[in-house]
Amino acid sequence: MSTPKPLRLDIVSDVVCPWCYIGKRRIENALKQVTDVPVEVHWRPFFLNPWVPREGISREDYLTTKFGSVEAYKGIAGRVVAAAGEEGLTYRPDLVKRQPNTIDCHRLIHWADAVGKAADMKQRLMELYFRDGGDLTDINVLVQAAAECGTNAEETRRRLATDEDVALISAQAEEAASKGISGVPTYVFAQKYAVSGAQPPEQLARAIRQVSAEINAEAAE
């Protein structure tokens, strides 16, 4: 029996998107259900709030601009906090004091990918933001996160001080938007089929199996 062709899975998401935080855990649980299917995961950038300036803004200003008031977000937050808890994740919106622009976070994930640590970097940044209320506009926080994921701290600090890969990340995010991706997370299977939203692991596992079977049947023809 020939070795099955790996399924390419592009996950378009942002580190400050709570459903992306939940969706990451769900796709990981889905992959545990299909260990016999080879899958290549690629993390792709998305800017949930492209209007937030590079230096970030206060969380209060952000919530007022996006939801009308801090109070208006509390009802929404309660549902997301509960959904995160069901996945064994912690979301503490009360700890978040600053809303970041996420281009530097996406640069860190892109650089970590070169050493096979993109998923680890993504997870660490999400934990800092959602669980710990970490300030992702603080270069020291970003450098520390990168170091915890096995990259050189001083090298990371130097790269963050430049515009290295800013244009690349921006272009990738714009490409996703130009393809009609407006809600995240979005899972793109084999660059052909897209599933939007933090779907249950069983549904994602089923999609992985179906598309993998299709691409391998095509390869065998």
pLDDT tens sequence across 133-172: 999 999 999 999 999 999 999 999 999 999 999 999 999 9
Q: Of 41-50, 109-118, 149-158, 212-221, which gets the smallest average pLDDT?
A: 212-221
Q: What is the mean pLDDT of the chain?
A: 96
- Which domains are seen in the chain, by residue range? 7-220 (3.40.30.10)
0.85 exceeded by pTM = yes
Predicted local distance difference test score (pLDDT) of residue 181: 94
Model confidence band, residue 3 (pLDDT cutoffs 50, 70, 90): confident
Model confidence band, residue 219 (pLDDT cutoffs 50, 70, 90): confident
Closest to 107 (Cα-Cα) out of 59, 162, 56, 152: 162
Residue 67 has pLDDT above 60, yes or no: yes
pLDDT 10s digits, 89-106:
999 999 999 999 999 999
Predicted local distance difference test score (pLDDT) of residue 98: 97
Predicted local distance difference test score (pLDDT) of residue 197: 97
Measured CA distances, 58 to 62, 97, 139, 176, 216 (Å): 6, 6, 16, 27, 49
Predicted local distance difference test score (pLDDT) of residue 73: 95
Predicted local distance difference test score (pLDDT) of residue 1: 53
Predicted local distance difference test score (pLDDT) of residue 198: 97
Residue 18 has pLDDT above 60, yes or no: yes
Predicted local distance difference test score (pLDDT) of residue 211: 98
Q: Which two tokens stand for residue 154?
A: 């001083």
Average pLDDT of the residues in 71-91: 96
Q: Strand order of the sheet with strand 193-196? A: 39-45, 7-13, 186-189, 193-196
